[in-house]
Amino acid sequence: MQMQPVLEANTHTFDARGVARRFRHSAIFGAIDVLRSGETMRFVNDHDPLPLIAQLRDRLGENLTVTYREHGPETVVIDFGIVGLPTE
């Protein structure tokens, strides 16, 4: 039995490996767009998404934090945090 990782409060996992490549960026943008300030998307992928990170930084500027949790040859885990946006 595989143990699920314990996530911090306000951290939501998005495993891009299960999303068809042609839909990935749209799905990721949709997920990021619904995050509120103080929330984090723990992003799991099969490669380092440098172009995606650049697009997210262009889109969110200083409201985006990027923290690598794992950077292996087959798995990359990044926490995309949202800060400084108005809360609802």
In a domain, 3, yes or no: no
CA neighbor of 80 nearest in space, from 37, 23, 24: 37
Range(s) of the domain holding residue 75:
18-82
In a domain, 46, yes or no: yes
Q: Where are the alpha helices (DSSP H) in 1-88?
A: 21-33, 50-60
In a domain, 36, yes or no: yes
Q: Tell me which residues of the chain have a pLDDT lower than 70.
A: 1-7, 86-88
Q: Count how many domains the chain has.
A: 1
In a domain, 58, yes or no: yes
The pLDDT of residue 76: 97
In a domain, 56, yes or no: yes
pTM of the model: 0.85
Q: Can you tell me the distance from the alpha carbon of 81 to that of 65, in angstroms, rounded to the nearest whole number? A: 5
